[in-house]
Amino acid sequence: MDVDEQNPTSSPQTVAHWPACPVTDPKERPGDQFYEEITLPHWNHESYPHTGVTVHVSNTFGLSFKADNVPPNIIILSLDSTFFLAHCHKLLTSSNNNFGCLISPTYGAVCNNVDVDALELCLPESASVLNLLLCTVYGFTCEQYLPPFESLLDALEALKKYGFSLPRYLLPGLPLYNAFLDHVPLHPLETYAIAAENDLEDLAVVSSSYTLDSTVHSIPDGPIPRIGFIYFQRLYKLHDTRMKTLRGLFNVELLPHTAKPYCSPWNRHVTSKAFLFAGMQIYYNATPGMPGLDIVRTMADLSSALSCPDCKQSVDTRTAQIVRDWVSLKRTV
Ligand SMILES: [Zn+2]
């Protein structure tokens, strides 16, 4: 079936134009786990110019793939020559632009023979990106493919291009969101920028906690325009609040213990000042995400150097309270 008959306003490539698509060496392509090799005579499409050669077909979106008990009625060929068989009704239902204006909204052909009846599209996205896109649209998990961060970014662009709403698919518990979570610790700022650009609240919240390992002042200029004023203000407020709170926690005088014969007032004064000094050292070297254990270690050094058991007890008690307050402080925007 000719695509142009279905949608005169679009001019997609069809499989009749496959020779224009670069065919890469399968051995050089990553992600072998999501496609398998089959020999073309099974399809034997009249417009296919490579009859008799081995091609790559998605494991999930293959010839036997049914959705809503309906066989596939669209063949999608990736830029790097992998086939995906899908369902127009699934793509049209979720897309707000008729899959990039490539599928007519009136298309409803029942595909009795995928060799003859299927709609055919040759798309400029790689197989790994199309696999992520289709998994997302169909609600299939994609974590097992361990998609690299760059593929996820490309998949987001493809989803937007083909009319799929990112806020709908990047929700906690959904496959694409879960795939992103694996990369957030290594790419917190980039993920936060993506969330800000697309108003993805849940992703913004979870990624913001991972930005705390560096100060807000060290954020490079590059992502700031993408983050935008509102989301940057939220991030700045998070970092600023945590640092001001940390300073306040250490800016409280150590409560002196009652007079004891083995600890002079001068000794108690020195202990109090040493505690303040150690606290300021921690503060000036801290990031907004500093682990509470760092406070424990530094103050333990001070405590172990004290000869008075009551001064030691004061330092330990105050340290424990500071750590409790610090680790319970809000870590997300
Ligand atoms: Zn003492």
State which residues have CB under 5 angstroms from ligand 1, the bound ion: 263, 308, 310-311
| pLDDT at residue 329 tops 90 | yes
pLDDT band of residue 266 (cuts 50, 70, 90) is: very high
Report the separation in Å between the CA atom of 323 and the middle of ligand 1, taken as the mean of its atom positions: 22
Report the separation in Å between the CA atom of 215 and the middle of ligand 1, taken as the mean of its atom positions: 37
* pLDDT at site 67: 87
Report the separation in Å between the CA atom of 273 and the middle of ligand 1, taken as the mean of its atom positions: 13
pTM: 0.80
* pLDDT at site 249: 97
- Report residue 11: phi and psi, to 5°: -135, 60
Report the separation in Å between the CA atom of 6 and the middle of ligand 1, taken as the mean of its atom positions: 87
In the chain, the percentage of residues whose pLDDT exceeds 90 is 65
Least confident span in 67-76, 163-172, 201-210, 322-331: 67-76
Indicate the domain borders of the chain.
Answer: 3-163, 243-327
* pLDDT at site 138: 95
Give the number of C-alpha atoms closer than 13 A to the C-alpha of residue 279, restricted to the C-beta side: 24
pLDDT greater at residue 230 or residue 144: 230
Per CATH, the number for 3-163 is 3.30.710
* pLDDT at site 51: 54
Least confident span in 24-33, 40-49, 130-139: 24-33
* pLDDT at site 115: 59
Which residues are 54's β-sheet partners? 39
Return the beta strands (E) in 46-97 as ranges: 54-58, 74-77, 82-86
For the chain, the C-alpha Rg in angstroms (whole number) is: 30
Task: Tell me how far apart the 2 most distant CA atoms of the chain are, in Å.
Answer: 102
In the chain, the percentage of residues whose pLDDT exceeds 70 is 83
Return the axis-axis angle of helices 224-250 and 201-210, rounded to nearest 10°. 50
Q: Per the structure block, which two tokens stand in for 182?
A: 């694996």
* pLDDT at site 37: 78
Rounded CA-CA distance 309/311 in Å is 6
Rounded CA-CA distance 328/291 in Å is 11
| pLDDT at residue 276 tops 80 | yes
